[in-house]
Structure 1
Amino acid sequence: MTAYNVFPITGLPEITAGADLATMLLATGVRLADGDILLVTSKVISKAEGRVLHATDREAAIDAETVRVVARRGPTRIVENRQGLVMAAAGVDASNTPPGTVLLLPENPDGSARALRRQLRELTGLNLAVVITDTFGRPWRNGLTDVAIGAAGIPVLHDHRGHVDSHGNALEVTVTATADELAAAADLAKGKTSGAPVAVIRGLAHLVADDDGDGARPLIRPADQDMFRLGTSEAIREAVTTRRTVREFTSQLVDPAAVRRAVAAAVTAPAPHHTTPWRFVLVETQQARTQLLDAMLAAWQRDLAHLDGWDEARIAGRTRRGDVLRNAPCLVVPCVVMDGSHAYPDSRRAAAEREMFVVAMGAAVQNFLVTLAGEHLGSAWVSSTMFCRDSVREVLALPPDWDPMGAVAVGHPARPAPPRPPRDPEQFITTR
C-alpha cells in the first residue's frame, strides 16, 4: 500500500487567452517536488488557449464540436466530439465563463498536457506528470466525477492481466484506469466551486515516467470494442439506415441464438385482426438446405424452359442469383399463414384481405433483417421461394397453408458494405 497526499493550488487569478499557465502556477507560491502529479481542470487550459467562443446559441456550438450523436433524450445529447471523447454536450460548457460565451475543450488535450509539463520542467528542473481533467457522467451510475482527457508523463492504464490476486486467482480482464482514479481523487481537493482548478498528488512518484507517454488516448475504447456505442433509439435508427443486402459471407458460423432473437423481434410486427401470421423455417442442416435449393432450381428451370427467349444460358444466369442462398452459413424461410383471416364472397375483398397479411409478413421480415443488422450479421432477402411454393412446401414438409415468402440468407459479411447514397425523403412524400 502507498500513502499519498492531495492538495489544491490556490491563488490563481482569472485565466485569459494567452496566459502563461506554468508561470502563474509557480507564482502562487506552491512548492512542487520531483514526482508530483498535477491535475489541471480543462477549463483553465481552454481559457489560456483561447477556446472561449462568443455564442448565445450553445446548441450550435455543440453541433460544431460533434462528430457523432450517441444518444439523445429531449434536449440532452451524449455525443462523440472532435477529440474522440464520448460525453454530454461535446464538452461545451457555459459555466465559469462570462454570459454570452461558452468554453470548448482544448483542441488537443494531450498536446496541452505535454506543453505544460515541458514548461514546468524548464522552470523548475523537476520531473512532473500533468493530467488534464474534465467532468463526466457515467453509464448506469448517477452523479458526475472527473476523468482524464489529456496526460503527459504518466501511463493512464495499468494492466493487471496475467497477475494473481491475494487468493491466487488469475486476473484476466482487469485493466485499471489509473489517470481517471487520479482525476477523481484530485477533484475531492479541488472541489467544483472552490476556485481551485489545479491540484497536486504527491507520494506516487513511481507512476511518473521520464517521457510523455501515449497520453490519454488509450483510455478511449475503440469503436469495434464498444458494446454500448449508441443509445437504444439511435442503435435502432442506425441498424435501419445502414442495413444493406449482403450477398457474400465469410465461412464463420452464425450463432443460432442471434437468429432466434431476430425471430423474436420479427413476431412483434403489426398484423390484422390480432393474428400472428408469421412462421420462420430455420433450414439448419446441410441436407435440408441442399434438397430445398436443388428442388427450387429444378422448378425454376422447368418453368422458364417453357417461356420464349429463355435459353439454357439465360436460365442459368437467372437461377445463379440463388447462389447466395446456397453459400450463406444460415438460411431462413419466412412463411405467412392466413389463420384468423376473414372470408369474403367477392375476389376483390378476398385479395385485399390477403394483401393485409402479406404486408404484416413484410413488416416482420423487416424487423428480422434490422435485428440481424444489430447483431452485426449480414442478410439478403431473396424472393425465389415465392415462385416455387409447392416445391418448397414439399421438400420442407410444411403444412399446405404455410405460404413461403422468399428466403433470407444470413451470415457474417465478407466485406463492409459500400455507403448508401443519401435519399431525400421528400422525393417519397406527397402532401395533400
Structure 2
Amino acid sequence: MTGPTDGSPEGTAATGPADPVTGPGQVPAAGDAYQVRALAGLPEIRPGDDLAELIAAAAPGLEDGDILLVTSKIVSKAEGRVVAADDRETAIDAETVRVVARRGTLRIVENRQGLVMAAAGVDASNTPAGTVLLLPEDPDASARGLRDGLRDALGVDVGVVVTDTFGRPWRTGLTDVAIGAAGVRVLDDLRGGTDAHGNPLSATIVAVADELAGAGDLVKGKASGLPVAVVRGLGHLVDPSGKEGARSLVRDSVDDMFRLGTSEAVREAVTLRRTVREFTDEPVDPGAVRRAVAAAVTAPAPHHTTPWRFVLLESAGARTRLLDAMRDAWIADLRRDGRSEESIARRVRRGDVLRNAPYLAVPCLVMDGSHHYGDARRDAAEREMFVVAAGAGVQNFLVALAGERLGSAWVSSTMFCREVVREVLELPADWDPMGAVAIGHAAAPPKERPARETARFVEVR
C-alpha cells in the first residue's frame, strides 16, 4: 500500500496497476489484488445537497462492484445535521442513550445509533467555525440512499460504506470504522470452516466493513479534504441483494463482556441489580459467586473487623435439606400464630423463589472484634454497627452478582429460624444467618424500575 503516487491530489493505495476509478473493472475472488483511491473534485458540502449526484459527477467512471467509502461528516452536512457550537453539550446530551465512562469533561457514551464513542459522535472538526456536526440520523439509511442515487445517476451497482473515526479500548490512536452500509457484506462469518492447517474455526467473524473503512482512511486522511474513497477489485464483497447494514456490527448488550465503563461500572451495576424471582435452569458459575464474595468483603466495617461469612449451597441436596427444615419451622410458627391452613400455604409459596433457584448463598454476621461496654444502650449500638456492616457486605454481593450478569433475590427467611439454619448447615453458634440469597440466570428481563425522585430522600441542612 502506498500514498499519493502520481502527483495528483488524490491519495492512492494500490496492489495492481489498473486505475481504480476509470480502468477496466473485474470481480475477483478473495485474495486477488485490489485498489483504493481517494476521490478528488468534490465541492464543500452544504445542507440540502444531493450527495449522490455530486459523487457521480466527480467519479463518472464508477463500475459495478466498486465500493465507496464515504466520511460521515459530508453525509451529516448534506442531511442538515449541523448545530451551533454553543449547543454542543446539549447536543451530546440529546444524542446520548447511556454514559459508559467519564473523565473530566470527556464522555464515552452509547448514542442513539447504538455506537459507543466519545461525545456521542458530535464533532467540531471539518465543519465551519461556530458549528458542530451530529452523526447521520440513520447511517444505514443514508448509505442506501447514496447507493440508490448512484444507480440512478450512473446505472452502476456499487457498495457504500459510511465511515466515522473511533478510538478503541486498550489501543492508542484512532481509526475509521463503518457506521452505515448498503450493498456490502458487512460481516464475513467463517465459523464452521477450517484454517489453512485444517483447524476448525469456531469463533471467527470478520468485520469486513470496518476493514474497508480503515483502508479508505489510509488514502482519505483526516485533514486533506478528501472525504470519499473508491475501492476496486473487491467486487465479491458487494451484495446487491443484501439488506445487512452496519448496525449488525454493534454487539448486543447480552454478549458484550465489556459493556460497563470505569466509575460508571459501579453505578450501572447498581442500576442493573434487581430482585429476580424466576430463574432458568442454566447452571451458575461458582467462580462468579466467589468473585461476588470478594467484592462483598470490601465493605466498611467497625473496628477494622471482617464480620461477613458466606455459606454457599452449591448442591441440590444441601439446598433441599435447608429449605425443607425452614419450611417446617415456618409452618409451626404460623400455626402458633393461629393462621389458617390456606393462609399458611399461601405464605409458604412465597418461599418458592429460594426453592426454584439453582444456587443459594446464606450471608452470616459474626461479631468477632466487637466491643462489650457492659451498658445496654452502647452494646445495642455496637451490634447495630455490625448489622449495618453486614448489610453493606450483602449489597456489595448483590451488585457484584449483577455485574456478573446473575440475577438474585435477598430473602429474609433465615433470620426467622436461625437455630434451624445453624443446625442444618452445621454453623458455629455465633454465626447469625442474615437471610438467604437466591442466585441464577433471570428467566425474563427485569421489569422497569419506577423512577424515584432523589429530592424525596434528601434533607439539606
- Pairs within 5 Å for 1:11-410: 11-28=41-58, 31-211=61-241, 213-307=243-337, 309-410=338-439
Change (3 A) 1:218 1:293: closer
Residues 141-162 of structure 1, C-alpha deviations (whole Å, 9 max, x = no match): 1111111111222111112222
Judge which range, 53-62 or 178-187, deviates more. 53-62
Identity of aligned residues (%): 71
Residues 169-196 of structure 1, C-alpha deviations (whole Å, 9 max, x = no match): 1211111111111111111111111111
Change (3 A) 1:360 1:127: same
Provide TM-score, normalisation by structure 1.
Answer: 0.94
Change (3 A) 1:210 1:417: closer
Q: Which amino acid aligns with 1:202?
A: R
Q: Which amino acid aligns with 1:386?
A: M
- What is the alpha-carbon distance in structure 1 between the residues aligned to residue 93 and residue 56 of structure 2? 37
- The structural deviation recorded for 1:270 is 0.7
- What is the alpha-carbon distance in structure 1 between the residues aligned to residue 225 and residue 234 of structure 2? 25
Contact 1:136 1:146 in 2 (8 A): yes
Contact 1:114 1:130 in 2 (8 A): yes
- The structural deviation recorded for 1:350 is 0.9
- What is the alpha-carbon distance in structure 1 between the residues aligned to residue 349 and residue 238 of structure 2? 64
Judge which range, 6-15 or 357-366, deviates more. 6-15
Task: State the secondary structure of the residue aligned to 1:245.
Answer: coil
Change (3 A) 1:134 1:285: closer
- The structural deviation recorded for 1:29 is 6.1
Query: Of residues 421, 425, 432 in structure 1, which corresponds to 2:450?
Result: 421
| 2:7 corresponding residue in structure 1 | none
- What is the alpha-carbon distance in structure 2 between the residues aligned to residue 48 and residue 177 of structure 1? 27
Residues 291-350 of structure 1, C-alpha deviations (whole Å, 9 max, x = no match): 32233233333344444x434444443344333222321121111111111111111111
- What is the alpha-carbon distance in structure 2 between the residues aligned to residue 327 and residue 215 of structure 1? 41
- Contiguous gaps of at least 5 residues in structure 2: 1-30
- What is the alpha-carbon distance in structure 1 between the residues aligned to residue 48 and residue 383 of structure 2? 73
Change (3 A) 1:18 1:303: closer
Q: Which amino acid aligns with 2:51?
A: L
Q: Which amino acid aligns with 1:54?
A: A
- What is the alpha-carbon distance in structure 2 between the residues aligned to residue 28 and residue 311 of structure 1? 86
1:411 aligns with 2:434: no
Query: Of residues 34, 44, 48 in structure 2, which corresponds to 1:4?
Result: 34
Change (3 A) 1:303 1:128: closer
Task: State the secondary structure of the residue aligned to 1:380.
Answer: strand
Provide TM-score, normalisation by structure 2.
Answer: 0.88
Task: State the secondary structure of the residue aligned to 1:409.
Answer: strand
- What is the alpha-carbon distance in structure 1 between the residues aligned to residue 425 and residue 363 of structure 2? 12
Change (3 A) 1:253 1:60: same
Residues 57-99 of structure 1, C-alpha deviations (whole Å, 9 max, x = no match): 2111111112222222221222222222222211111111122
- The structural deviation recorded for 1:426 is 1.5
- What is the alpha-carbon distance in structure 2 between the residues aligned to residue 347 and residue 34 of structure 1? 88
Alpha-carbon RMSD: 1.9
Change (3 A) 1:298 1:144: same
- What is the alpha-carbon distance in structure 2 between the residues aligned to residue 422 and residue 23 of structure 1? 49
